[in-house]
Amino acid sequence: MSELFGTLSDGTGVHRWTLERAGTRVRVLTYGGIVQSVEVPDREGRTADVVLGFAGLDGYLSHPEPYLGALVGRYANRIGGARFTLDGVTRPLAANNGPNSLHGGERGFDKRVWDAQPVEHGVRLTRVSPDGEEGFPGRLEVSATYTLDASGALRIAYEAVTDAPTVVNLTNHSYFDLGGGTGPTGHELRLAASRYTPVDADLIPTGALENVTGSRFDFRTARDVGTGYDHNFVLDKGVTDSPEEVAELHDPVSGRLLTIATTEPGLQVYTADHLGAPFTPNAGIALETQHFPDSPNRPDFPSTELRPGGVYRSETVYAFGVRVQGPA
């Protein structure tokens, strides 16, 4: 089901699609591919929205930088020095995060209106990113398909093709609060990640893959997330053809449980320490499935290159449930 959600200053209409199945209700906007809300029950059967969002379009237009619920690209996360070299050609990008390019530049995929078509139990968003958009080479045809499966899990499947060599790295930037408005304090996180990518002062990976043992980055056993994280974790499974479980977030108070499965090799944990008004810092936790930051400048990282004739595919599943008691 779709409805008009708002209108941009140029008269372009933005629509909201509502997906509902097995006790889960998800609302997706054609503006930025934004997941506006995800409503699921707690252990007592009380339903609440577990992602941060705005009630109206003006909120997203006035506060774009948190990327609330957005589909970010062409390149999710940071590219160091706002440039990369591909096939001997250096490509300058917009430096919209200090000296770096972040989430696709000044006007990335999160600030574009996507075309929408219904699919079984969901909606498929499409757009064409022209050659040179935000400095990225190649005409890129992109789709993101949002569906709810029989259990009420939200599945986001991305595909892209290009007519020239380029780089692609897409993700969803939802901030989770499984308490449904109480904040994620006390949320417990488990990650299937034995390593992470340390960063410099500008949050660009140093190139090392550091072992998490004995450090605050060790979430292999579930524990309180806390704060102070904006880091990429190296998932033990690597790149896979189908989604594999890599993360679990649990709110002991409500009992709500989020399990994430993905085809991606990395996951960015951002505890929203710098989340600005109208939200308070640490009001949600972003868990962004991805290839590693700055991969176009790190040939030893899993490649984000896409060439003509190839197909970029990425898929992430967000499954919701409840735990009656504490962590198993």
Contact predicate 32/109, CB 8 Å: yes
- CA–CA gap between residue 311 and residue 314 (Å, rounded): 10
Place of tokens 């506006």: 36
25 Cα distance to chain centroid: 19
- CA–CA gap between residue 49 and residue 69 (Å, rounded): 13
Helix or strand (DSSP H, E) at 219: none
188, 248, 288, 315: which one is catalytic?
288
Q: Helix (H, G, I), strand (E, B), or coil: what is residue 110? A: helix
Q: What is the largest CA-CA distance in the chain?
A: 59
Phi then psi dihedrals of residue 296, to 5 deg: -60, -20
103, 134, 173, 291: which one is catalytic?
173
Place of tokens 């789709």: 143
Closest CA to 50 of 66, 39, 41: 39
* 288 annotated active-site: yes
∠ CA 244-250-254, nearest 5°, is 140
Closest CA to 178 of 257, 267, 282: 257
Place of tokens 């430096």: 95
Q: DSSP class of residue 226? A: -
Helix or strand (DSSP H, E) at 62: helix 57-62
- CA–CA gap between residue 119 and residue 134 (Å, rounded): 30
Phi-psi category of 309—alpha, beta or left, where left has phi over 0 and alpha has psi -120 to 50? Answer: left
* 250 annotated active-site: no
∠ CA 175-74-61, nearest 5°, is 50
Instruction: Give the catalytic positions in this structure.
Output: 173, 288
